[in-house]
Amino acid sequence: MKPLPSTHTHPRSLKQHKKSDDATFRIALAGNPNTGKSTLFNALTGLRQHTGNWPGKTVIHAEGTYSYNGNSYTVIDLPGTYSLFSNSADEEVARDCIIYEKPDVTVVVLDATAMERNMNLALQVLEMADRVVLCINLIDEAKKKGIHINEKRLSKQLGVPVVKTSARNREGLSHLQKVIKEMAYGKINTNPYRIRYSDELEEKISAIEETVLSTFGDRLPSRWVALRLLDGDQSLIDSLQHRIELRRKEVGAHGTDEPLYPVEA
Amino acid sequence: MSQSHIIPLTEGLPGQTIRIHHLTLEGTMRRRLLDLGFVPGSDVTVLQRSPLGDPVAFRVIHTTIALRKEESSQIYGELIGSEKNETTT
Ligand SMILES: Nc1nc2c(ncn2[C@@H]2O[C@H](COP(=O)(O)OP(=O)(O)OP(=O)(O)O)[C@@H](O)[C@H]2O)c(=O)[nH]1
Ligand SMILES: [Mg+2]
C-alpha cells in the first residue's frame, strides 16, 4: 500500500481536539447500495450484518466495534443510497448520521467498477463533512474488468485520502484502519472538493450561510445546510425545526442561555 | 443539437439509446431522477417494456432502473443509436 500524498499529511498540525491515546472513535460507512459496506463492516467488526447481491439490504443502521492499536472504534453501517437529499427514509437516516452525529471519520465506500455512478454520493458527502476517507472497494472485480484506478490522483483532486480495498478478501483493511486512525487523531488535513456555483448563486449561499452560522454555530456544515435550504429541502427544514424545538425545551427546563442548536433526537 | 430530434424517453424503443437533453420535472422527483443518473449528457438505453407497457426499464450509467410513464415522459433526449446486441455489464 502506498502512502498518502504529502499534501494531506501534516503531522505537525495536530489541530483542534487533542485525543488521548486510548480514545474511542465513531466511524460511519456511507455509500451507494451494493458497494460492500456491510461486507466491510463485518470484516472490521467480526459481526454478521446481512450481505447479499441485491441492493437495499441494510435498512436500519447497525453498529459494531473493533480495536486497532489500542483504540476502540464504533462502526456504523448505513443503508446504501444514491443520494443524501432526503428522497427516502434511508437517505434521511444516512444524512442525519453524517450531519448531526458527526462521526469522527465518515468512510464513503465506492464500487471500483462503477466510479461514475458512485461519485454523486461521494461528492455530496464531501460537501457535508471534513473528515472523509474514500474507500474504493471491489478492487478485485475492477482488476478483472481491466479497470485501473489512480488513487493518488483522485486523492489529490478530491482533497481526501483514497484507499483501495477488497473487503470480501480482507485486502487493504489494515491500511484503511491506519488511515482512519490518523484522520480520527487529526493527523490528516483534508481539503474536501466543493463545487463552486455561479457568482449569483454563491452570493445567495453566503447570505444564507451567515444566518445558518449565527443560529447553529459550527455544529452543522453551514455551507451544505445553506445549499439545501436554497434548494427547498423540506425534509431537512423539518428535521432542523424538530431539533431546535427539542433544544428549546431543554434550555427552558435548565434555564441556561446558550444559543439554540439542534440536538440529537 | 437540433431541437427536432429531441424526444421524450417514452418514445424510445427497446434497444435504442437516447442522450438526455433536459428534464421538465420539478422538485423532489427531478432531484431523485438526477441522483439516479438521468442527467443531461447521460446516455440511456431502453431495455424492455413490461407486459402492460408501464413501467419501462432503462439502463443508465450501468444500472437498470424502471420508470413510470409520468416520469419518463418528462425526460427528453436525442436518439443517438440502436444497439442490436446489448452487452451485459
Ligand atoms: N468481489 C467482491 N465482492 C464483494 C466485495 N465486497 C463485497 N462484495 C460482495 O458484494 C455484494 C454486496 O455486498 P454488501 O456488503 O451486502 O453491500 P452493501 O453496500 O452493504 O449493500 P446495501 O446494504 O444494500 O447498501 C455481496 O455479494 C458481497 O459479497 C469485494 O471486495 N469483492
Ligand atoms: Mg449493507
Per-residue pLDDT tens over the stretch A31-78: 999 999 999 999 999 876 665 555 555 556 688 999 999 999 999 999
Q: Is B62 in Cβ contact with A117 (below 8 Å)?
A: yes
Total of domains in chain A: 2
> What is the sign, positive or negative, of the torsion defined by CA atoms of A42, A48, A51, A56?
negative
Is A196 within 8 Å of A190 (Cβ atoms)?
A: no
Report the atom number in ligand 1 closest to the C-alpha of A77. Answer: 20
User: Quick one: pLDDT at residue A254?
Assistant: 61
Does A226 lie in the same domain as A144?
Answer: no
Take residue A98 and report the three cell numbers written for it. 453524517
Per-residue pLDDT tens over the stretch B16-51: 999 999 999 988 889 889 999 999 999 999 998 777
Domain holding A14, by residue range, is 2-184
Confidence label for B81 from pLDDT (cuts 50, 70 and 90): confident
Is B12 within 8 Å of B67 (Cβ atoms)?
A: no
Q: Is A114 in Cβ contact with B62 (below 8 Å)?
A: yes
User: When comparing pLDDT for A19 and A213, which is higher?
Assistant: A213
Inside any domain, residue A190: no
Does A99 lie in the same domain as A57?
Answer: yes
Per-residue pLDDT tens over the stretch A143-154: 999 999 999 999
Last residue of a domain, one of A160, A184, A208: A184
Q: Does A15 score more than 90 pLDDT? A: no
A96 to chain B, closest Cα gap in Å: 18
Does A171 lie in the same domain as A202?
Answer: no
Per-residue pLDDT tens over the stretch A219-250: 899 999 999 999 888 889 999 998 888 878 87
Q: Provide, rounded to the nearest whole percent, the portion of chain B with pLDDT above 70.
A: 88
How long is chain B? 89
Structural Rg of chain B based on CA atoms: 12
Q: Region A148-163: what's the mean pLDDT?
A: 97
Q: Does residue A83 sit at the B interface (CB-CB below 8 Å)?
A: yes
CATH number at residue A142: 3.40.50.300
Q: Region A7-16: what's the mean pLDDT?
A: 39
Q: What is the mean pLDDT of chain B?
A: 86
Q: Does residue B26 sit at the A interface (CB-CB below 8 Å)?
A: no
Does A56 lie in the same domain as A17?
Answer: yes
CA distance B25 to B72: 10
Q: Which of A79-83, A140-144, B10-14, B27-31 has the weakest average pLDDT?
A: B27-31
Give residue A47 CA to ligand 2 midpoint distance, Å. 12
Does A140 lie in the same domain as A214?
Answer: no
Q: Does A14 score more than 50 pLDDT? A: no
Q: Does residue A237 sit at the B interface (CB-CB below 8 Å)?
A: no
Helix (H, G, I), strand (E, B) or coil at A133: strand
Inside any domain, residue A9: yes
Does A208 lie in the same domain as A248?
Answer: yes
Confidence label for B54 from pLDDT (cuts 50, 70 and 90): confident
Pocket test for ligand 1, best of A34, A37, A41, A91 (most atoms within 8 A of CB): A34
User: Quick one: pLDDT at residue A230?
Assistant: 93
What Cα–Cα distance (Å) separates residue A183 from each residue in A135, A176, A206, B27? Answer: 14, 11, 28, 37
Does A211 lie in the same domain as A175?
Answer: no
Does A172 lie in the same domain as A201?
Answer: no
Phi-psi group of A258: left, alpha or beta (phi > 0 → left; psi -120 to 50 → alpha; rest → beta): beta
User: Quick one: pLDDT at residue A69?
Assistant: 93
Cβ neighbours, 10 Å, residue A54: 7
User: When comparing pLDDT for A261 and B45, which is higher?
Assistant: B45
The ipTM is 0.74
Helix, strand, coil shares of chain A, percent, nearest 5, are: 45, 15, 40
Per-residue pLDDT tens over the stretch A94-125: 999 999 999 999 999 999 999 999 999 999 99
What Cα–Cα distance (Å) separates residue A29 from each residue in A41, A45, A184? Answer: 8, 12, 14
Domains in chain B: ranges and CATH: 6-83 (2.30.30.90)
Does A201 lie in the same domain as A80?
Answer: no
Take residue A136 and report the three cell numbers written for it. 474504493
User: Quick one: pLDDT at residue A18?
Assistant: 63
Say yes or no: CB of residue A35 within 6 Å of ligand 1: yes
Say yes or no: CB of residue A49 within 6 Å of ligand 1: no
A73 to chain B, closest Cα gap in Å: 31
